Amino acid sequence: MNKAKCFAPASVSNVACGFDIMGFAIENLGVETELELSDKGELNLVETVGINQSLPKEIDKNITLAAVKHILNEKKIDVGLNIKINFKMPISSGLGSSAAAAVSAVCCANKLFNLNLSDKELLNYSLKGEYIASKSIHADNVAPSLFGGFILIRGYDPIDIIKIPYPENFYCILFYNNIEIKTWHARKILKQEISLKDAVKQWGNAAGLIAGMFLKDFGIIKRSLIDHIIEKERAILIPYFYELKNAALEAGALGASISGSGPTIFAVSDSEKKCEDIKTAFENEAKKRNLDYKIFITKINSKGATFLE
Amino acid sequence: MNKAKCFAPASVSNVACGFDIMGFAIENLGVETELELSDKGELNLVETVGINQSLPKEIDKNITLAAVKHILNEKKIDVGLNIKINFKMPISSGLGSSAAAAVSAVCCANKLFNLNLSDKELLNYSLKGEYIASKSIHADNVAPSLFGGFILIRGYDPIDIIKIPYPENFYCILFYNNIEIKTWHARKILKQEISLKDAVKQWGNAAGLIAGMFLKDFGIIKRSLIDHIIEKERAILIPYFYELKNAALEAGALGASISGSGPTIFAVSDSEKKCEDIKTAFENEAKKRNLDYKIFITKINSKGATFLE
C-alpha cells in the first residue's frame, strides 16, 4: 500500500443545551484526506480542493500536516508524503472542519502505516493534531467525526466519551451563512460567570436531551433543545440569527440553535417532509435579507471516519 | 370508607451532579398519614409519631394540614378530619420529609374522597401543599416520593418530569447526622453566580449520570457522581462532611455527597456487601468524632406513594 484515502464527517457540536459536552456526526459533509508515499522525504500539501482560500503550508499551522507529522514523530516513521485534502464542507463554519481534517489525516496514517491504533489512540492523535495547529481542543467535534453517532463528552480530565443512541428519524437542517467566525473569538466573547438559575435550566435540558435520545422521545428532545447560556451571547455574531431561528421553529423545527461556534444554524426535525418546510422557511428569510447562504438537509452519520481506498 | 392511610417514601434529591433536577425515592423511610372523618368539622392533628418535636398546629404552617385543606377547598368538600402522621424518618434531614408529608396527605385525601386525581393533579396538589406551609417547592423530592424511582425534573416552567430507569442493584447508604439544617438557609448561602468552567463540568456529569442510569453502567455512574458547584458551599454546614465522605469513598462507595440540602450524606454502591463496608467506615468516622448519628442502608423505591388501608 503506497497511499490511503479517508473521509471524516462534519459534526454539529453543543447541540443547544450541551455546550462543550455534546456533538453528533452528520451525513454527506466532511473532509477527505489522501496520503501518498513520496521520495522527497517531506510532507507536501499537493492539493486542496473545495475551498476558496489557501491553507497555511507550515506544518505547525496546518491541522492535516500537524496531525500527520505528530504521528510520524511518535511512531518514528521517516517518509515523505504527498497530501491531498478535499473539503466537502465549508470551513470556519461551526461544523467541525478542523476536527474532520485532523480525524481524516490520522485515520489515513493509521491505514497507510498499518499502525492498528486503538480508538483511544485515534482520538488522542486527532485531538493533538488539531491542538498543535489551532491551540484548541474540540473533542465535541473530534469524537463524533471519528466514531460517528451522537456523543456525550462527560468530562475532559481525562476525556470520557459516551455513545448515546438516537432515533432513526433524527434529521438536521443546516443553514450556512457565508461569513467566517473564528472559534477563538466566539469563545472569547463568552462571559466566564453565569447565573446559577440559568445553569440549573441548562443542566436540566442537557440531562433531558440525553434522556430523550435514549427514549427516542421527540417531545422530550424538543423541550430540551434550548440554550439558556451560550446562544444569547453568540447570536450577535450571526446576522439575523433570531429571524432565521424563528423561521425554522415556525416551520415546525423541534429546536434550532448555533452549530458549534457558528455561523451555521442547525435545526432538528423528525420528518423528511418537515425538513423541506424548514428549508423553504430558511430560504425565504435569507432572500428577504439578501444573505449568501447554503442549506443542507442531513441525518446523523452513524459510521464516523471511513477508509475509502 | 371513613378513613384512609397512605405511605409516601423519603427521597434523595440533587444526587451530587443534579442540583434541583434529580431525585430518587428510597425504601423503608418515609411518612405515613391517616385521615379519618370526624364530626367536629375541623382538621384536627390528633397524633404525631416518630419525631421528638411538635409540629405547628396552624393549618397554613403545617404541610399535612395545608395540603389537605387546599384539596378540600378546591374540591368544595366540607368535612371534619382527624389526622395522624407517623414519621418513619428523621425530619429537617435532607431526605424530603416535607415532600413525603405532603404526598402522603394528598394521596390519603384522593382515596378517602374518591377523587381519582390524575398523576399531574396529585403532583400539583402535593407541591402546592408543601408550598403553602414552607413557601418553597421541592419537585425533586415530591415527584420521586409520589411516583417512585429515579426522576429527572427537566424544567420547572411548566414542571417536566421524566422517569429514568436504573440498575436493580443501585444501593444507597445514608448517614444521618443528628443536626438540623433548614432548607431556606442551605439555599441562602449558595452563590448566585458560578463559573462557566464549573458549570460545563456539572452539566457533563448530569448528562453522564442519566446516560449511566439508562446504560446501567456503574463505571459511568461513578464518574458522574461529582458535584462541582453546590457541595463545596454547603459542606461547611455539615460537621466533618469531607471526613465522612472520604471514609465512604475509601470503603468502596461509587460516589457520596449531600442528600438534598443536608445534613444527611448519601453514598452509592452496586453491592450489598460493600454497603456493610461503607456503613462500618461511616460508623468508625462518627465514633472518632463523637457524632450522634443514624445509618440506613436502602435501595431505590420503585413504587412511590402507596395506599395502605
Do B131 and B98 lie in one domain? The reply is: yes
Residue B296 has pLDDT above 90, yes or no: yes
Give how far the C-alpha of residue A272 lies from the chain's centroid of Cα atoms, to the nearest Å.
Answer: 22
Which residues from B are below 8 Å from A17, CB to CB?
203
Domain boundary among A113, A148, A165: A165
Instruction: Give the pLDDT confidence of B56-114 residue by residue, as tens digits.
Output: 878 778 899 999 999 999 999 999 999 999 999 999 899 999 999 999 999 999 999 99
pLDDT at residue number B235 = 95
pLDDT at residue number B261 = 92
Instruction: Give the pLDDT confidence of B154-202 residue by residue, as tens digits.
Output: 999 999 999 999 999 999 999 999 888 887 888 888 999 999 999 999 9
How many residues comprise chain B? 309
Instruction: Give the pLDDT confidence of A255-301 residue by residue, as tens digits.
Output: 999 999 999 999 999 999 999 999 999 999 999 999 999 999 999 99
CB within 8 Å: A18 and B203: yes
C-alpha distance from B155 to closest chain A C-alpha (Å): 6
B155 interfacial to chain A (CB closer than 8 Å): yes
Which residues from A are below 8 Å from B201, CB to CB?
155
Residue B53 has pLDDT above 80, yes or no: no
Do A130 and A225 lie in one domain? The reply is: no
Helix/strand/coil for B36:
strand
Burial of A54 (0-12, 13-18, 19+ CB in 10 A): exposed
Q: Which of A181, A163, A155, A157 is nearest to A262 (CA)?
A: A181
Please check whether residue A308 lies inside any domain of the structure: no
Domains contained in chain B, number? 2
Please check whether residue A152 lies inside any domain of the structure: yes
How sure is the predictor about B302, in pLDDT bands with cuts at 50, 70 and 90? very high
Supply the mean pLDDT for chain A: 95
Domain boundary among A118, A140, A165: A165
Do B205 and B246 lie in one domain? The reply is: yes
Do A114 and A133 lie in one domain? The reply is: yes
Do A253 and A128 lie in one domain? The reply is: no
pLDDT at residue number A17 = 98
Q: What angle do CA B122, B123, B125 make, to 5 degrees?
A: 65
CB within 8 Å: B19 and A155: no
Instruction: Give the pLDDT confidence of B114-166 residue by residue, as tens digits.
Output: 999 999 999 999 999 888 877 888 899 999 999 999 999 999 999 999 999 99
Neighbours of B48 (CB within 10 A): 17
Instruction: Give the pLDDT confidence of A59-116 residue by residue, as tens digits.
Output: 778 899 999 999 999 999 999 999 999 999 999 899 999 999 999 999 999 999 999 9
Name the one residue in this structure whose C-alpha cell is 499502525: A115
Q: Which of A243, A207, A246, A235 is nearest to A223 (CA)?
A: A207
Domain boundary among A146, A165, A184: A165
Do A51 and A132 lie in one domain? The reply is: yes
Q: What angle do CA B188, B193, B195 make, to 5 degrees?
A: 135
Do B123 and B60 lie in one domain? The reply is: yes
When scoring A196, A209, A226 by the number of chain B Cβ atoms within 10 A, the one with the most, hence best to mutate, is A196
Do A13 and A156 lie in one domain? The reply is: yes
A267 interfacial to chain B (CB closer than 8 Å): no
What CA–CA distance (Å, rounded) separates B281 from A14?
41
Residues 170..189 of B with a Cβ closer than 8 Å to A: which?
none
How sure is the predictor about A1, in pLDDT bands with cuts at 50, 70 and 90? confident
Please check whether residue A309 lies inside any domain of the structure: no
Do B89 and B220 lie in one domain? The reply is: no
pLDDT at residue number B60 = 79
Supply the mean pLDDT for chain B: 95
Which CATH number is B286's domain given? 3.30.70.890
Residue A133 has pLDDT above 90, yes or no: no
Domain hosting residue A127, numbered range: 3-165
**Radius of gyration, alpha carbons of chain B:** 19
Which CATH number is B99's domain given? 3.30.230.10
Residue A120 has pLDDT above 80, yes or no: yes
